Amino acid sequence: MHALVTGGAGFIGSHLVDRLLEEGHRVTVVDDLSTGSRANLEAARLSGGDRLAVRVADVAAADLDAMMAGDPPEVVFHLAAQISVRASVADPVADATANVVGTVNLLEAARRQGVAKVVNTTSGGCVYGEPARADLPVTERYPGEPHSPYGVSKLAAEQYLATFDSLHGLARLAARAGLDVVGAGQRLWPPPGPPRRGGRGVDLCWRDGARRRGRDLRRR
C-alpha cells in the first residue's frame, strides 16, 4: 500500500510513519516543518530507504493534486494541523487556514486523484466544548459546541470529511485523539506555563516509565 501522511514529521505523525514502514508499506510524508522536525524521521529513513519520500509543503497552499499525480496513495492520513488553542484565539484566521482550508485542499486533491480513504486526526476534547456534568461521560455522537476557534476548525474539518464522503464517496475516518497523547519525540507547543496557584505543575509518564515535569519535555 502507498500511504500519504500529512504532518508526518511531527510527534504522532512520525510514529505512524514508522509503523507503516515496519508493515512494509510505501509512505510519502507532506510536512511544512513549522513544528515537525526532520530528526523525527531519521529512523524512518534508515528503515524505509526508498519506500519513504518526504515533501516539504504547506497543505493549505500546496498543489497537492500535482504532488499525488502519477503515483496517488491508496490512503491519506491527515495529521497536519495548527494545534494550539492559545494560538487559535490570538489568530483565528491562521487557525482556520491551517485546519479548514488545509483539510479541504487535501480532500479535493484526494477526490480528484481517486484516493480510497482519508483518515483525519482531530481533537478528542475541544470539539465538545464543555458538556454539562449530567451529560458526562460523552460519546462521539455528543453534539459539539466548541468554545475556541481551534475546536471550531477541527469540528468543521470533520464535517467537510463527512460531506466529501456523502457527495463523492470518499471513505473517511475521523480519529479523535485523547487530550494527553505523550511519548518519545514529543515537543510541547506552546511551552507549558507556570503551575496554577497551589498546583504542582504537569507530571507526565514517558514511554520508558520515567516521570518528568512538563517543562523538561521540550524535545523535537
Residues labelled catalytic: 150
Q: Among residues 91, 119, 115, which one has the least CA distance to residue 190?
A: 91
Angle at 106 (CA atoms; ends 123, 187), nearest 5 degrees: 45
Distance CA 117, CA 110 (A): 8
Distance CA 194, CA 52 (A): 40
CB atoms within 10 A of CB 11: 24
Alpha-helical (H) ranges within the chain are 11-22, 42-48, 64-68, 85-90, 92-96, 102-112, 149-168
Q: Record the cell numbers describing residue 167, joined without a space.
A: 457527495
Residue in this structure with the C-alpha cell 521540550, named with its chain if needed: 218
Distance CA 188, CA 83 (A): 11
Distance CA 30, CA 62 (A): 10
Tally helices (H) and strands (E) across the chain. Answer: 7, 8
